[in-house]
Amino acid sequence: MSKTYFGTDGVRGAVGAPPITADFSLRLGWAIGKLFSRRGNGRILIGKDTRVSGYMLESALEAGLLSAGSDVGLMGPMPTSAVAYLTRTLGAAAGIMISASHNTYHDNGFKIFDQGGNKLEDALEADIEAQLQQQMIGTASDHLGKAVRINDVAGRYIEFCKATVPRGYRLQGLHVVVDCAHGATYHVAPGVFEELGARVTLTGTSPNGFNINDGCGSSHPAHLAKQVVAQKADLGIAFDGDGDRVIMADHKGEVVDGDELLYLIASERQRRGILGGGVVGTVMSNMGLERGLQSLNIPFVRSQVGDRYVLELLRRKEWLVGGEPSGHILCLDLTTTGDGIIAALQALTLMVDSGKPLHELKKGMAKFPQAAVAVQLNGAASAEVLERAGETLAQKKKTLGDGFRVLIRPSGTEPVMRVMVEGEDRQEVAGIAEDLGAVIERAM
């Protein structure tokens, strides 16, 4: 289904350029209000991350909702997963998160949840786009909505996260570095780990509107790894700007990505008898994850890139656990969307129960070397660009054989073409990725 505004994860783009403008935000609020205000208790929640543009977009979105007759609950800076959780538990009609996830402050966007805390299905996104095409007509004064600030959301969400681990579970004795990427988890993640007994060293918890994801967080795990070694901590945990991704680092400063965390979570759940089927990864998931799960007799299938596609496949197969190498991890028996804090707690359960460090536990999965290249696009990727990349790939296969796996795709969240190459030889993999990236760059 062709859509004008919605991509693979809501609406996203550069601030000040359509559609990430105040006037579009106003119209979007009105459209959502028209469609959703009669559901649940009629209130629509708004959360945001720490970008400076959040003030502008929140105000315009609120005005649009109120003009459509919707009541509004303002949450302030909160993780995306908290917006989903509180939309469901507070009986709201819908929830809206203002965020561009792992992107820098230059971008922003909107993620929308239905009253069950689920990201919208294609049909509902199409309904919103259709409503956006209608003339914006406000309601009469006696039917305008009202806005209130919900002051206890952080405490509610912290208690929810703590309740996702077994009763009596403690992190006593663990020294953990927590990197909040100067984003939406800055005032909730520390409380979760501290209240569970961990000694916590913080980084990335001083947002100023401009430093979100800037050289820190899950997109820049080297910062976390360096801090773990410097602090002589047991491990580190890094979130992205809106808290739906998590990446870790072990005590040696080695990064533990989403594939490895997914392996640890699945293996621990299998041991406890609560896995609930198999695991869904994506076409970007490392072959090491697939083989590691096979060694445990855990079924594994791949979806398209994007947590919404992971979610769709999990629901179709009636499984519970899935995720992406980037750190989007879904545990559907606990929450409805990717949640970095909850995923981290799931992985830490294995550390606590086994008494083994993260560095040792991750050895159960042997990763294949991967190389990734992102080529900036000047517009839509043309068929000619993909054809030239395909020709180069065919030549590589003639000389090197089929001992590698290649994925070339346009990003669903940024104007780049992504190239991923995986194989047994690290230098060979890196060379193929660079060659393909250069071909695409020249073609553009």
CATH number of the CATH domain containing 397: 3.30.310.50
CA dihedral 274, 287, 249, 351 (to 10 degrees): 30
Based on the domain organization, do 17 and 137 belong to the same domain?
yes
Angle at 91 between CA 90 and CA 92, to 5 degrees: 95
Based on the domain organization, do 229 and 111 belong to the same domain?
no
pTM to 2 decimal places: 0.90
Based on the domain organization, do 71 and 123 belong to the same domain?
yes
Cα distance between residue 177 and residue 309, in whole Å: 31
Residues taking part in catalysis: 101
Based on the domain organization, do 284 and 342 belong to the same domain?
yes
Based on the domain organization, do 256 and 397 belong to the same domain?
no
Residue 407's domain comprises 370-443
- Residue ending a domain, among 153, 177, 205, is 153
Cα distance between residue 392 and residue 399, in whole Å: 11
Q: Answer whether residue 36 is part of any domain.
A: yes
- Which residue carries 């406890």 as its tokens? 272
Strand 321-323 to strand 175-179: parallel, antiparallel, or no bridges (unpaired)? unpaired
Cα distance between residue 305 and residue 136, in whole Å: 35
Q: Answer whether residue 158 is part of any domain.
A: no
Based on the domain organization, do 336 and 200 belong to the same domain?
yes
Q: Answer whether residue 6 is part of any domain.
A: no
Q: How far is CA 400 from CA 51, 52, 424, in A?
A: 46, 49, 12
Based on the domain organization, do 129 and 168 belong to the same domain?
no
Angle at 59 between CA 57 and CA 63, to 5 degrees: 115
Based on the domain organization, do 241 and 376 belong to the same domain?
no
**372-383 in b/e burial notation, b at 16+ Cβ within 10 A?**
bbebebeeebee
Q: How many CA atoms lie within 13 A of 270 on its CB side?
A: 16
Based on the domain organization, do 185 and 327 belong to the same domain?
yes
Based on the domain organization, do 169 and 140 belong to the same domain?
no
Q: How far is CA 22 from CA 64, 177, 231, 278, 398, in A?
A: 10, 37, 43, 44, 53
Q: Answer whether residue 4 is part of any domain.
A: no
H-state helical runs in 287-413: 287-295, 307-317, 340-354, 358-361, 383-400
Based on the domain organization, do 192 and 227 belong to the same domain?
yes
Structure tokens at 253: 């400063």
Cα distance between residue 309 and residue 9, in whole Å: 10
- Residue ending a domain, among 132, 153, 174, is 153
- Residue ending a domain, among 134, 153, 172, is 153
Q: Answer whether residue 1 is part of any domain.
A: no
Structure tokens at 384: 């000619």
- Which residue carries 């293996």 as its tokens? 267
Q: Answer whether residue 283 is part of any domain.
A: yes
How many domains would you assign to the chain?
Answer: 3
CATH number at residue 249: 3.40.120.10
CA 361 to mean position of chain CA atoms: 24
The edge-to-edge listing of strands for the beta sheet with 404-410 is 370-376, 416-423, 404-410
Burial class (CB in 10 A: 0-12, 13-18, 19+), 8: middle
Cα distance between residue 252 and residue 357, in whole Å: 10
Report the candidate in 324, 292, 331 with the shortest Cα–Cα distance to residue 309: 324
Cα distance between residue 146 and residue 69, in whole Å: 8
Q: Answer whether residue 5 is part of any domain.
A: no
DSSP 379: S
Sign, CA torsion 189/192/194/200: negative
What residues pair up with 95 in beta bridges, in sequence order? 45, 113
pLDDT tens profile 65-114: 999 999 999 999 999 999 999 999 999 999 999 999 999 999 999 999 99
H-state helical runs in 68-99: 80-89
The edge-to-edge listing of strands for the beta sheet with 321-323 is 300-303, 279-282, 321-323, 329-331
Segments in the chain below pLDDT 50: none
Based on the domain organization, do 389 and 248 belong to the same domain?
no
Q: Answer whether residue 3 is part of any domain.
A: no
